[in-house]
């Protein structure tokens, strides 16, 4: 796991240091490939393509993609099939038309994923009569090529070649239903990985389906440690049933994020709790090697990785994420009452967890906080002006 993170970090440094290609941007110039481009992104193959130094992408137009989508495969299967269209070698137009002995076999990313057994995942490229170039997965039993070369879309020798081919390349192996991450039992997996209390709350609230259904398209879960949740329980129990569900869903982001991705992106994250005008979002903020999650009420830090297997990542965090939508609306309890409940929480749970209570209370006496905040800025300005005068 740690090695993987290290590799991701190195890869990230490498790709940012060099002037890397961006397949999303390349294809965005060609509306004919918008569906293909969309699925490269949602399957995370785009990131894999961008990461590689030498690569060929066989794009198909929207009509060919519609044929594929009409089969209603899972996103996981679509990913396997599209992986057949990405070769770990460089084939520009010229090389394709001058294949030694008229035929060659190349390995696709499907081969590299480890999903493919034996020879599946290899593609035959054949120079045919009349200057045509044919493509077929090696395990195809047709004597006609499955797809033919249409045109070159973009060539950056020898980094990336994007070509158009006539049809989708597929194979029984790529289409075979795989035991994808969607089949896993998310709650028991969370429980086994040290998120038992959080998993129990999800089960009690009947929220496991919402989480499980999101895995396929990519899901990142931020799970408060058992210790943190324990001290939070009195406040959790105070929430309405809907509030509890929202709070739990607030800890899920419907996008796969590796730690490397989180470290390299600051910004807003939408969560599974998002609904209508209630945004239920939070901000990712990098702080050196730390990744911090800031709601308007509390700031949590990622403390560990439980699972990081695209499309699912689960990280342990040191605070319960408190959405402003739930904790701002708490009955206005200014001054002494806040202090009292804070003191009681601290008594319940010595240690860092008590920390996440304080800002929430500040937030419940919201207006006062704002005024003081404004006063702070005023005081700062005054002292700056005084400083300038002196
Ligand atoms: C690639 O380009 C797209 C569209 O311009 C952009 O949204 C995305 O952030 C880029 N990816 C990288 C890794 O730069
Ligand atoms: C792929 O190429 C190999 C070697 O040239 C050949 O034996 C095989 O029949 C080809 N398969 C297809 C499906 O074209
Ligand atoms: C290929 O990549 C290298 C380094 O990443 C870069 O220096 C070179 O300009 C790229 N070639 C093209 C044609 O973009
Ligand atoms: C997951 O496992 C738990 C306990 O092993 C079980 O109670 C639950 O029904 C399972 N959920 C699914 C969706 O299979
Ligand atoms: C729960 O709600 C009640 C009534 O609003 C309040 O008095 C009490 O302090 C709350 N408890 C916690 C732990 O927030």
Say whether pLDDT at 184 is over 60. Answer: yes
In this structure, which ligand is nearest to the CA of 265?
Answer: 1
Please give the Cα distance from 349 to 24 (Å, whole number). 48
Nearest CA to ligand 5 atom 9: 341
Q: Do 173 and 77 meet the contact criterion of CB atoms below 8 Å apart?
A: no
Q: Across all residues in the chain, what is the average pLDDT?
A: 79
Nearest CA to ligand 4 atom 1: 185
Q: What is the pLDDT of residues 228-259, one digit of tens each?
A: 999 999 999 999 999 999 999 999 999 888 87
Q: Is ligand 4 within 6 A of the CB of residue 187?
A: yes
CA of 123 relative to ligand 4 center, distance in Å: 40
Nearest partner of 174 among 116, 106, 260, judged by Cα: 116
Which one of 12, 14, 24, 34 would you pick to mutate in the ligand 1 pocket, going by the greatest count of ligand atoms within 8 A of its CB?
24
Q: What's residue 346's pLDDT?
A: 36
Structural domains of the chain in order of their starting residue, each with its CATH number: 20-175 (2.30.180.10), 181-317 (2.30.180.10)
| pLDDT tens column, 303-346 | 988 877 778 889 999 999 999 989 864 444 443 434 444 434 33
Q: Report which ligand 5 atom has the smallest distance to the Cα of 341.
A: 9
CA-nearest residue for atom 14, ligand 1, is: 22
Q: φ and ψ at 154, to 5 degrees?
A: -160, 135
**Span of 73-77, 222-226, 351-355 with lowest mean pLDDT:** 351-355
What separation in Å is there between the alpha carbon of 238 and the centre of ligand 4?
27
Residues 6+ apart with CB under 8 A from 381: none
The answer to whether the CB of 136 is under 6 A from ligand 2 is yes
Ligand 5 neighbour 234 (Cβ under 6 A): yes
pLDDT score recorded for residue 185: 84
Question: What is the 159 CA–ligand 3 centroid distance (Å)?
Answer: 6
Q: What is the pLDDT of residue 289?
A: 78
What is d(CA 320, CA 358) in angstroms, rounded to the nearest whole number? 12
- Quote the pLDDT of residue 112: 66
Give the per-residue pLDDT at 132: 94
Kindly write down the DSSP assignment for every residue of 158-192, as one continuous string: TTEEEEEESS----HHHHSPP--GGGS-HHHHHHH
Q: Which atom belonging to ligand 4 lies closest to the Cα atom of 187?
A: 1
Which ligand number lies closest to the CA of residue 158?
3
Give the pLDDT band (50/70/90) at residue 298.
very high
| Tens digit of each residue's pLDDT (9 = 90 or more) over 22-56 | 999 999 999 999 999 999 998 888 988 987 889 99
Is the per-residue pLDDT at 376 higher than 60? no
220: β partners? 253, 313
Question: What is residue 110's three-state secondary structure?
Answer: helix
Rounded distance between C-alpha atoms, residue 80 and residue 43, angstroms: 9
| Structure-model confidence comparison of residues 200 and 100, the more confident one | 200
CA–centroid distance, residue 350 to ligand 4 (Å): 34
Question: How, if at all, do strands 55-59 and 160-165 pair?
Answer: parallel
| Mutate which of 185, 186, 209, 213 for ligand 4 pocket (most atoms within 8 A of beta carbon) | 185
**What is the distance in A from the centroid of ligand 5 to the CA of 333?**
10
Q: How far is the CA of 235 from the centre of ligand 5 (A)?
A: 7
Residue 311 preceded by cis peptide, ω within 30: yes
Bond prior to 81 in cis (omega within 30° of 0): no
Give the least confident one: 164-173, 270-279, 291-300.
270-279
The pTM for the full model equals 0.53
């Amino acid at each position: 796991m740690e090695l993987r993170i290290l590799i991701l970090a190195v890869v990230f440094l490498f790709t940012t240091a060099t002037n890397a290609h961006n397949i999303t941007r390349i294809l965005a110039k060609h509306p004919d490939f918008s569906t293909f481009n969309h699925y490269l992104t949602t399957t995370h193959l785009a990131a894999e393509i961008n990461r590689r130094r030498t690569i060929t992408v066989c794009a198909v137009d929207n009509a060919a993609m519609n044929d594929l989508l009409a089969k209603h495969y899972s996103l996981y299967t679509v990913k396997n099939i599209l992986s057949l269209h990405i070769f770990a070698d460089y084939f520009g137009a010229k090389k394709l038309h001058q294949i030694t002995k008229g035929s060659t076999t190349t390995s696709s990313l499907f081969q590299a994923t480890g999903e493919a057994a034996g020879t599946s995942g290899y593609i035959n490229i054949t120079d045919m009569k009349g200057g045509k170039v044919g493509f077929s997965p090696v395990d195809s039993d047709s004597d006609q090529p499955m797809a033919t070369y249409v045109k070159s879309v973009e060539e950056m020798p020898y980094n990336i070649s994007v070509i158009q081919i006539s049809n989708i390349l597929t194979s029984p192996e790529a289409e075979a239903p795989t035991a994808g991450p969607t089949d896993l039992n998310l709650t028991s997996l969370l429980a086994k990985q040290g998120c038992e209390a959080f998993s129990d709350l999800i089960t009690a609230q009947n929220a496991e389906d919402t989480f499980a259904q999101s895995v396929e398209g990519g899901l990142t879960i931020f799970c408060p440690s058992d210790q943190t949740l324990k001290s939070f329980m009195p406040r959790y129990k105070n929430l309405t049933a809907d509030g509890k569900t929202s709070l739990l869903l607030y800890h899920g982001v419907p996008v796969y994020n590796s730690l490397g991705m989180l470290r390299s992106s600051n910004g807003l994250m939408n969560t599974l709790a998002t609904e209508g005008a209630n945004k239920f979002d939070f901000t990712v903020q990098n702080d050196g090697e730390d990744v911090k999650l800031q709601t308007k009420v509390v700031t949590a830090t990622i403390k560990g990785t439980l699972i990081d297997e695209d499309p699912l990542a689960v990280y342990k965090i040191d605070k319960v994420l408190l959405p402003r939508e739930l904790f701002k609306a708490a009955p206005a309890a200014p001054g002494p009452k806040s202090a009292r409940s804070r003191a009681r929480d601290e008594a319940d749970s010595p240690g860092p967890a008590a920390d996440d209570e304080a800002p929430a209370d500040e937030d419940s006496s919201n207006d006062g906080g704002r005024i003081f905040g404004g006063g702070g800025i005023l005081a700062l300005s005054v002292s700056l002006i005084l400083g300038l005068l002196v």
